[in-house]
Amino acid sequence: MSAVAIKGWCPGALRPMLSGDGLVVRIRPRGGRLDASQATGIAELAARYGNGLTDLTSRANLQIRGVSDEGYPALIDGLAGLGLLDADSDTEAQRNVLVTPFWTAGDETRSLAAELEQALASARLDLPTKFGFAIDDGSERVLGGASADIRIERDRNGGLLVRADGAQFGLSVARSEAVQVALALAEWFVASGGAKGEKRRMAAHLAGGASLPQSLRGDAEPVARSADPVPGLYSTGAMVGLAFGQMPQQTLSHLAERAQALRVTPWRMVLAEAMHEMPRDADLVTDPNDPALRVIACSGAPRCREAHADTRALASALASFVPADARLHVSGCAKGCAHSGSADVTLVASREGFDLIRRGTTRGVPVLRGLTRSDLVANPSVLMRGH
């Protein structure tokens, strides 16, 4: 057993997790953005102390894997030098803030993110580790499919609102009130028992019958949810994808050299700020029709000790059979680390083979059980039957 690992399912930098290939160290970029020197520094640290790859997670965090006990203290010193650490592990665990990557200079996104992160650092809310916030205050609501419990969004008239995930409407707020109301909602969640529920998430708490207090309930309707973005050029930069969210050292370093900064997203893509041509590195996914964008897979075996299968090898073998409008999620166990939401098809590995779930999550009811890798590769049409 590692001397420094603390087992759990939401690692941080200050509270790493032991996995099949060593420690997993997760970095939470402030405001969802890394400047070029931070991105270069992470690439160097991943090569020196990890396995050379930097993973982008579905919470828009970065992860260095394969870290040894001996290398961990030096890695932490390196991250501290890049300004990427929090004061302590509790502060780090509470700073779960997703930020729309499409902000522009002068709008309110960055200041809202900074204010929320600062408020979270000085509040002790005892939130569950997966509990998070989304600042999705652009004219398009792009984070609607990403995991968050409290959302700051816009209504059709451009006004700000704060919405509990799972509620149809939010409370209209002035800019100066938004963070305060978001924190009040988080406090209500804990005080009303949400942190003790089975799922410990806002939507499940509301679905289980919890009723928002009058002071936090509103009738402001958020703008319609946009489809998840695809790789391509945007006014703010070049959005590029990464198969399974993995970035080799050279790829991350090259992007950092050419972009002003990198904005991280929950879609396993990064937006290279102020880049006006698509980069052509072989490891980047730049074609919106690339089958790699249709599959999601967790680390799997041999990288994760909980895994019952090599998820990424199977997902790669099946990707070209997944229709362009569908998503296949391959999970090494029922925990579903790579994707907590629903997918058109979810394959969950167990000791007895793969369970296949349609339009559900890893916890859904399988329609087929005990499938082998060779069954699936030899007969991939079984995946999308009825799609």
Copy the structure tokens of residue 320: 């070209």
Q: How far is the CB of 354 from ligand SF4 (least distance, A)?
A: 13
Nearer to ligand SF4, 94 or 299 (CB): 299
List interacting residues with ligand SF4 (CB under 6 A).
Answer: 298-300, 304, 306-307, 331-333, 335-337
Closest contact distance (angstroms) between CB of 336 and ligand SF4 is 6
Nearer to ligand SF4, 85 or 304 (CB): 304
What backbone phi and psi angles, to 5 degrees, belong to 195? -75, -10
The radius of gyration of the chain's CA atoms, rounded to the nearest angstrom, is: 20
Q: How far is the CB of 302 from ligand SF4 (least distance, A)?
A: 11
Tokens of 343: 């997918």
Q: Which of 73, 76, 101, 93 is nearest to 12 (CA)?
A: 93
Cβ-based nearer residue to ligand SF4, 144 or 332: 332
Identity of the residue, 220 or 309, whose beta carbon is nearer to ligand SF4 in the bound complex: 309
Identify which of residues 240 and 301 has a Cβ nearer to ligand SF4 in the complex.
301
Quick check: 142 and 107 in contact, CB under 8 A?
A: no
CB of 22 vs ligand SF4, minimal distance in Å:
14
Put the strands of the sheet holding 17-19 in their side by side order.
17-19, 22-27, 62-67, 53-56, 246-248
Contact 58, 327 (CB under 8 A): no
Question: 310 near 350, Cβ under 8 Å?
Answer: no
In the complex, the smallest distance separating the C-beta of residue 310 from ligand SF4, rounded to whole angstroms, is 10
What's the closest the beta carbon of residue 58 comes to ligand SF4, in angstroms?
A: 11
Task: CB nearer to ligand SF4: give 38 or 246.
Answer: 246
**Are the C-beta atoms of 154 and 160 separated by less than 8 Å?**
yes
Rank residues 91 and 311 by Cβ distance to ligand SF4 and give the closer one: 311
Give the shortest CB-303-to-ligand SF4 separation in angstroms.
8
| Contact residues for 124 (Cβ-Cβ < 8 A; gap 6+) | 90
- Other beta carbons within 10 angstroms of residue 177's beta carbon come to 14
> Structure tokens of 90?
């509790």
d(Cα 95, Cα 84) in Å, to the nearest integer?
Answer: 12
Report which of 189, 173, 100, 111 is spatially closest to residue 137, judged by C-alpha positions: 100
CB of 244 to ligand SF4, least distance (A): 11
Q: Give least dist CB 279 to ligand SF4, A.
A: 28
Nearer to ligand SF4, 212 or 333 (CB): 333
Nearer to ligand SF4 by Cβ, of 231 and 245: the residue is 245
Q: Six-digit token pair at 285?
A: 């996914």
CB distance 41 to 105 below 8 Å: no
Reading the block at residue 41, the tokens are 């520094």
Residue facing ligand SF4 at closest CB distance = 332
Report the SS3 class of residue 288. Answer: coil
Q: Report the candidate in 131, 89, 87, 132 with the shortest Cα–Cα distance to residue 113.
A: 132
Instruction: Name the β-bridge partners of 171.
Output: 162
C-alpha closest to that of 330 among 297, 367, 378, 294 = 297
C-alpha torsion sign, points 204, 205, 206, 212? negative
Nearest-approach distance from CB 308 to ligand SF4, in angstroms: 7
State which residue, 38 or 299, has the beta carbon closest to ligand SF4.
Answer: 299
